[in-house]
Amino acid sequence: MLVLLLSSGLHFSLCLVESISGSAHLSPNLSKYSYSEAIPLLYTRNTFIFRNLPTITRFTSTIPQQRMECLRSIRLEWIFSEVEMDYPYGTAAGYSTVVEKGFDTRWKPLWRTLACMSGLQELHVRLIRGTFAQMPTSIWEDRIFEPMRQFEGLEKFGVEVNWVVKPSSVVGPFQVTVVDEKREDNMRGID
């Protein structure tokens, strides 16, 4: 397993890179020349695992487009609560005040970026709704699945969630699996 450390100045994010069976193992001390030669193996023969939205956003903003096109397998794992999806603190107006700005300015661009990865074959998304679940699912569920519905052409596209989804939300090019909430701290397997 290769670990990429991504820095944004004050914060570091980890991107785990798992070898796909049969792939070459790469030394972390690659020279610039060796790295250039190893790019096809690094990007095509490994699964890139992102544990949150900022990490994948940082990663995709730091590599050239032609390398993003080489990525074959991505796993995105995200523990969220609706509070992170713009639920306004301390408002008496209730659920109707949910706005699109914060969440949608991160989530929708992520899916546009993933759509630019023309070589992507496998995508696994694990969404774990945190314990501060206050809003009714119908308010935010469509916002999560809407950009996923546009994403087609993958060999494997799996989505794992820990809440009961409404059937109209899960219509798309992906297979949804509902997992037990007690597994939310076990962020390893999507398969």
pLDDT digits (tens, 9 = 90+) for 54-75: 888 888 888 888 889 999 999 9
Residue 190 · residue 158 · CB < 8 Å: yes
Chain-centre distance for alpha carbon 2: 18
What is the H or E stretch that residue 146 is in? helix 137-149
pLDDT at 79: 79
Residue 143 · residue 99 · CB < 8 Å: no
- pTM score, whole prediction: 0.71
Looking only at the bridges linking them, the beta strands covering 2-7 and 12-19 are antiparallel
Beta-strand runs (E) in 1-45: 2-7, 12-19
